[in-house]
Amino acid sequence: MATELQQMIDVVAKDKGIDPSIVIGAIEDAYLAASRKVFKSDEDLRSRFNLETGQVELYAVRQIVAEVTEPAREISLQAAQELYGAEAEVGMEIEFPKETERLGRIAAQTAKQVIAQRVREAEREKIHAEYSQRVGEVVNAMVKRFESGDIIAEVGRIEAQIPRKEQSRAENYAIGDRVRAVIKAVSKNAKGPQVILSRTDPALLIKLFEQEVPEIYDGTVMIRGAVREAGDRAKVAVFSRERDVDPVGACVGMRGTRVQAIIRELRGEKIDIVEWSEDSVTFVTKALSPARVQRVSIVDDEARVMEVVVEDRQLSLAIGKKGQNVRLAAKLTGWKIDIKSEEEKRKEVEAQLADIDFGDATIESHTLSLPDIHDEVVAVLRAGGYDTVEKLLETDDDVLAGLPGFDIETVEAVKAAAQQQIDAMRAAADAAQAEALAAAESVETPEAEAVAGTADDQAAPDEAGEPRAD
C-alpha cells in the first residue's frame, strides 16, 4: 500500500506533468539539507527514497581505510571486518543508518522549499524542450491577464506572453478573449513566461496562408517573402512551381474567400499579394502594387538601388501613407527604391541637360575655331582677345578692321565663318536636347509596360481591404 509520501509524489508529478523521479530527487535533497542542519557533523550524509517502504532513509557513509585520519568519514579495516567479516576491504564504503525522526519540522519545511524549486526548474526545462521545437507554429491562446501592457495568455497548460511590441495596434483584447498567435521565441532563463507569442511577426501571416491555401500547404505555390506593418498593410510574394497554377489567384481564392479569411483574422489588415520574379526590375514593379509603374532603372546594382518613375497622379499611391507602400516594397524585394513622378523626372533631366556639354555644341563661351579661315588670321584674332565665337560676333566691324592686316572684307569673311560655326553648334545642341527629352518622356520600359498591362487586368484594393492581386 502506498504511503502518504508516495501519494504526494504521484500527485505532484501528475499535476505538474513531470517525472516522479524529479520529485523524489527533490525530497532526497530536502532530507539531506535538513539532516546537515540538525546533526551539524562532518559526516558524509546521504539520503535515499525507499520505493518499497515509501520512506526516506538517511545514511552516514564511511570509507574503509588502513589508518583512520577523519573519524567522521572513515573506518578502520579492522573495525569494518568486525562488522562485516572478511569481505570488508580497504576502499569500500559502509553505510550507517541515521534516525530521521529527529529531523521533524525542519525536514518538512526544507522539503517544501526544495520540492517547489525543483518542480519549477523541471517545469521550465519541460516547457523549453517542448516549445523550442515549435517556434514558428501558430497556437490558440486565451487572454488571462495584463501586465504593464503585455498580454499573459494560456496556451494549453502553460502561460505565454505577448509583449506590447508584438501586439497589433489595430487589436484590443479583454480577459477571456481567444487569440491566435505565432510562437516567436522560447526562453530558458526568463523569470516570467518562457514562451513569447507574436501577432505582428510575418511568420504569422505565412502560417495563416499555409492553413487557408491548399496549394501552399502541398508545396505547389511557395511564399518567397512576406513583410508587414501590423494592423495596416502587408505584402506577400508568391511563386508557382507549376505553369498552369496562378499563384496569386490561388492565394486570393474564389471571390477572395481565402485571403478575406486571413484579413478577418488580422482585424482588417490590407494584404497585397504579388507574384515573385527572379528579375529584379519586374519584381520591384509588382511589389509597388497597387501603384502603376512607368519605368524602373537600376541605379547601383552593387548597392541594390533602383529608381522608379510613376505617373504624377500615381506618386502618392506608390509612396503610400507615410511612405508605407514603398517601405514595404523595399523590404520585400531587398532593394532601395527611389520613387519619382514623371514631372519631377522631366525637370531633373532638363536641369541636367542645361549642364551637359554636347561635344562641340555647347552654346556659351566656345573657343574660337574657324576651319575655313587661314591660321594666321585666327592667330591675330586670338592675340587681340577674340578667343571665343561670342566675342567675335559681338564686336563692331570697324573695331575688328583695325586689327593688324584686317580690312572690311576680312572682317565680313571671319564673321560669316563664325556665324556658320555657332549655327552648327546650336543645331547640334537642339538635336541632342530633343533626343534626351524624348528618352525622358518615353518612360515605359518593356518590363514595366508588360507588368502594368497585367496589373490592369487584376483587382485593385478597395477601402475595405480587398487584396491587390498583381
| Ramachandran angles phi, psi of 334, nearest 5° | 80, 15
- Per residue in 208-248, pLDDT tens? 999 999 999 999 999 999 999 999 999 999 999 999 999 99
Pick the range with the lowest mean pLDDT from 51-60, 385-394, 401-410: 385-394
| Domain-ending residue, one of 162, 184, 200 | 200
Pick the range with the lowest mean pLDDT from 52-61, 303-312, 327-336: 52-61
On whether both 159 and 51 belong to a single domain, the answer is: no
| Domain-ending residue, one of 158, 176, 200 | 200
434 lies in a domain? Answer: yes
> Is the bond preceding 290 in cis, omega lying within 30 degrees of 0?
yes
CB 399 within 8 A of CB 411: no
Higher pLDDT residue, 386 or 289? 289
Higher pLDDT residue, 370 or 114? 114
- The Cα–Cα gap between 309 and 400 comes to 53
248 lies in a domain? Answer: no
> Please, how many CA atoms are within 13 Å of residue 236, restricted to the half-sphere of its CB?
33
**Residue 228, pLDDT score:** 96
What's the whole-number mean pLDDT along residues 90-111? 78
On whether both 89 and 46 belong to a single domain, the answer is: yes
Give the percent of the chain with pLDDT over 90.
40
H/E stretch holding 318: helix 315-319
Higher pLDDT residue, 78 or 327? 327
On whether both 120 and 68 belong to a single domain, the answer is: yes
Tell me whether residue 321 is exposed, middle or buried, using C-beta atoms within 10 angstroms of its C-beta: 0 to 12, 13 to 18, 19 or more. exposed
- Mean per-residue pLDDT of the chain: 83
- The Cα–Cα gap between 130 and 124 comes to 10
Q: What is the CATH number of the domain that holds 390?
A: 1.10.150
On whether both 107 and 176 belong to a single domain, the answer is: no
Does the structure show a pLDDT above 60 at 439? no
What's the whole-number mean pLDDT along residues 278-282? 94
**All residues at 6 or more sequence positions from 416 whose CB lies less than 8 Å from its CB, including other chains:** none
Higher pLDDT residue, 173 or 7? 173
464 pLDDT tier (thresholds 50, 70, 90): very low
Dihedral of CA 78/80/83/85: which sign?
A: negative
**Residue 113, pLDDT score:** 80
**Residue 316, pLDDT score:** 93
**Residue 356, pLDDT score:** 54
467 pLDDT tier (thresholds 50, 70, 90): low
**Residue 206, pLDDT score:** 96
On whether both 105 and 122 belong to a single domain, the answer is: yes
- Per residue in 126-184, pLDDT tens? 888 889 999 999 999 999 999 999 999 999 888 999 999 999 988 999 999 999 999 99
401 pLDDT tier (thresholds 50, 70, 90): confident
Q: What is the CATH number of the domain that holds 19?
A: 3.30.1480.10
470 pLDDT tier (thresholds 50, 70, 90): very low
Range of the domain at 164: 135-200
CB 294 within 8 A of CB 444: yes
CB 220 within 8 A of CB 239: no
Does the structure show a pLDDT above 60 at 357? no
On whether both 22 and 59 belong to a single domain, the answer is: yes
**All residues at 6 or more sequence positions from 333 whose CB lies less than 8 Å from its CB, including other chains:** 280, 283, 284, 287
364 lies in a domain? Answer: no
On whether both 144 and 67 belong to a single domain, the answer is: no
257 lies in a domain? Answer: no
Higher pLDDT residue, 101 or 187? 187
CB 272 within 8 A of CB 459: no
**Residue 226, pLDDT score:** 97
Query: Which residue in 159, 131, 130, 126 sits closest to 143, CA to CA?
Result: 159
98 lies in a domain? Answer: yes
CB 24 within 8 A of CB 15: no
238 lies in a domain? Answer: no
**Residue 378, pLDDT score:** 75
CB 63 within 8 A of CB 75: yes
**Residue 56, pLDDT score:** 83
Higher pLDDT residue, 331 or 427? 331
Report the domain count for the chain: 3
- The Cα–Cα gap between 391 and 364 comes to 11
335 lies in a domain? Answer: no
148 lies in a domain? Answer: yes
| Domain-ending residue, one of 161, 185, 200 | 200
What is the grid cell recorded at 392? 567675335
Give the percent of the chain with pLDDT over 70.
85
Dihedral of CA 421/422/425/427: which sign?
A: negative
What's the whole-number mean pLDDT along residues 368-391? 75
Does the structure show a pLDDT above 90 at 199? yes
On whether both 117 and 151 belong to a single domain, the answer is: no
H/E stretch holding 234: strand 233-240
Q: What is the CATH number of the domain that holds 196?
A: 2.40.50.140
**Residue 434, pLDDT score:** 66
DSSP notation for 58-89: EEEEEEEESS-S-TTTEEEHHHHHHHHGGG--
- Per residue in 52-90, pLDDT tens? 888 888 888 889 888 888 888 888 888 888 887 888 888
